[in-house]
């Protein structure tokens, strides 16, 4: 199959998403700017509540109430600003242009309909004329992922294993030839072998179809296997962003450093893995002024209390930290 292989670029600019709470509107994502280079896989890591899923939903302008996109833009080549789409335009974009693999792909299927019927619903929703070809594409994709397409399409959700459902979710996101694919925690709740398979499939399909892919996860190890770029989120901000080998090899932001230190090594003493001190912030405990990470930071300075660090880009990497800018502290090179 030939496709126009020009993968689109995705530019997120100054995106702010707020959630309405009894304490007022609190930002889950504040002023995030992130560029997904065409044809790359960008990983987003962060702890629970860091705003990564909210960021993922913003790419489809699908932030759910009580959340609301307060400011910013999400520009996708060929689509314009997704945040300005609404109604039918937005619906047609979802699924057709931007594929979304759901966080809980285990339960992202209608329990009462066979996968095949849901595939036809998808085709009809996007005015696919040749439904036979769509089914054939779906079977090919499923076969590509090591499944018996005919059998899967004839099954109900409960007849499939978790890994199979996840692959069905990926198939449904890709079958309409979307060129931007968002995967929200694609391997959570799967066993290690299935995880590895899914990640390999993501990488292969991504390269075959020349996609621009965003993978959201809290698992640094998982993302390291597939991503080209890595963005680290903390408290609703992207604190570091750059090519993955560099970000993981020479982490600059103290949070990234802490995150990497917290991973236990397969070889070596488990006590060397050190958990980050303190707790991840919640919407309510996020500091209003200054750096959001300062409470847990070992490089805390006076300026961190009052001034929020600006995102600074140099040699292809973006870091938001007052302590960076001096010679980058590269203490634990052995993790490279």
CB of 302 to another protein, least distance (A): 44
- Give exposure, 51-78, as e/b (b: 16+ Cβ within 10 Å): bbbbbbbbbbbbbeeebebeebbbbbee
Residue 326's DSSP bridge partners are: 324
Exactly one of 16, 37, 125, 177 binds another protein (CB under 8 A); that residue is 125
Residue 213 engages another protein in binding (rule: CB under 8 A): no
Nearer to another protein, 153 or 202 (CB): 153
Rg (CA), the chain: 21
Residue 107 engages another protein in binding (rule: CB under 8 A): yes
CB of 107 to another protein, least distance (A): 4
Q: Please report, to the nearest 10 degrees, the dihedral formed by the alpha carbons of residues 15, 20, 23, 26 taken in order.
A: -10
CB of 104 to another protein, least distance (A): 5
Give the footprint of another protein on residues 143-172 (CB under 8 A): 150-151, 154, 156, 158-159, 169, 172
User: What is the C-alpha separation between 193 and 174, in angstroms, rounded?
Assistant: 23
Nearer to another protein, 172 or 198 (CB): 172
Residue 212's DSSP bridge partners are: 180
Nearer to another protein, 124 or 331 (CB): 124
Residue 122 engages another protein in binding (rule: CB under 8 A): yes
Exactly one of 94, 209, 241, 252 binds another protein (CB under 8 A); that residue is 94
Tell me the window of 17-25, 87-95, 229-237, 252-260 that interacts with another protein (CB under 8 A).
Answer: 87-95
Can you say how many angstroms the Cα of residue 96 is from the centroid of all Cα atoms in its chain?
18
Tell me the window of 110-118, 221-229, 234-242, 293-301 that interacts with another protein (CB under 8 A).
Answer: 110-118
Exactly one of 35, 47, 116, 126 binds another protein (CB under 8 A); that residue is 126
Residue 93 engages another protein in binding (rule: CB under 8 A): yes
Nearer to another protein, 151 or 300 (CB): 151
CA nearest 186: which of 207, 208, 204, 201?
A: 201
Residue 189 engages another protein in binding (rule: CB under 8 A): no
Asked if 210 and 1 count as a contact pair (C-beta separation under 8 A), the reply is no
Residue 306 engages another protein in binding (rule: CB under 8 A): no
Handedness of CA 200, 226, 39, 36 (dihedral sign): positive
Exactly one of 26, 62, 189, 286 binds another protein (CB under 8 A); that residue is 62
Which residue matches tokens 């993968």? Answer: 7
Asked if 158 and 75 count as a contact pair (C-beta separation under 8 A), the reply is no
Exactly one of 11, 13, 92, 300 binds another protein (CB under 8 A); that residue is 92
Which residue matches tokens 């997704």? Answer: 82
Q: How many residues bind another protein (CB under 8 A)?
A: 36
Residue 89 engages another protein in binding (rule: CB under 8 A): no
Residue 80's DSSP bridge partners are: 76
User: What is the C-alpha separation between 158 and 160, in angstroms, rounded?
Assistant: 5
Give the footprint of another protein on residues 244-283 (CB under 8 A): none
Strand-pair category, 41-45 with 212-217: parallel
Q: Which two tokens stand for residue 300?
A: 């805390």
Residue 204 engages another protein in binding (rule: CB under 8 A): no
User: What is the C-alpha separation between 277 and 296, in angstroms, rounded?
Assistant: 6
Exactly one of 5, 21, 110, 313 binds another protein (CB under 8 A); that residue is 110
Residues of this chain that bind another protein (CB under 8 A): 60, 62, 64, 91-96, 100, 102-105, 107-114, 121-122, 124-126, 150-151, 154, 156, 158-159, 169, 172-173
């Amino acid at each position: 199959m030939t496709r126009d292989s020009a993968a689109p670029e995705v530019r997120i600019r100054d995106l702010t998403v707020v959630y309405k709470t009894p304490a007022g509107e609190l930002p889950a994502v504040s002023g995030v700017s992130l560029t997904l280079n065409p044809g790359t896989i960008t990983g987003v890591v962060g702890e629970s509540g860091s705003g990564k899923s909210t960021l993922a939903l913003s790419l489809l302008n699908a932030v759910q109430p009580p959340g609301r996109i307060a400011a910013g833009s999400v520009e996708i080549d060929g689509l314009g600003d997704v945040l300005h789409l609404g109604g039918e335009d937005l619906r047609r974009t979802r699924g057709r242009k931007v594929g979304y693999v759901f966080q809980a792909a285990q339960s992202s299927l209608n329990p009462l309909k066979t996968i095949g019927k849901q595939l036809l619903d998808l085709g009809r929703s996007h005015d696919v004329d040749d439904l036979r070809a769509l089914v054939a594409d779906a079977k090919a994709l499923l076969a590509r992922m090591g499944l018996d397409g005919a059998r899967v399409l004839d099954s109900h959700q409960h007849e499939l294993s978790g890994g199979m459902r996840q692959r069905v979710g990926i198939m449904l996101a890709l079958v309409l030839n979307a060129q931007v694919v968002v995967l929200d925690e694609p391997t959570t709740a799967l066993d290690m072998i299935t995880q590895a398979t899914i990640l390999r499939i993501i990488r292969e399909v991504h390269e075959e179809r020349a996609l621009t892919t965003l993978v959201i996860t809290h698992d640094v190890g998982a993302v390291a296997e597939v991503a080209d770029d890595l963005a680290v989120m903390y408290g609703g901000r992207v604190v570091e962003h750059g090519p993955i080998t560099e970000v993981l090899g020479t982490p600059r932001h103290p949070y990234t450093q802490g995150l990497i230190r917290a991973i236990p090594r397969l070889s070596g003493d488990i006590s060397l893995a050190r958990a980050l001190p303190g707790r991840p912030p919640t919407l309510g405990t996020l500091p209003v002024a200054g750096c959001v990470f300062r409470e847990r930071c070992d490089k805390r300075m006076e300026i961190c209390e009052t001034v929020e660090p600006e995102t600074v880009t140099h040699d292809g990497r973006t870091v938001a930290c007052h302590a960076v800018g001096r010679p980058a502290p590269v203490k634990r090179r052995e993790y490279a």
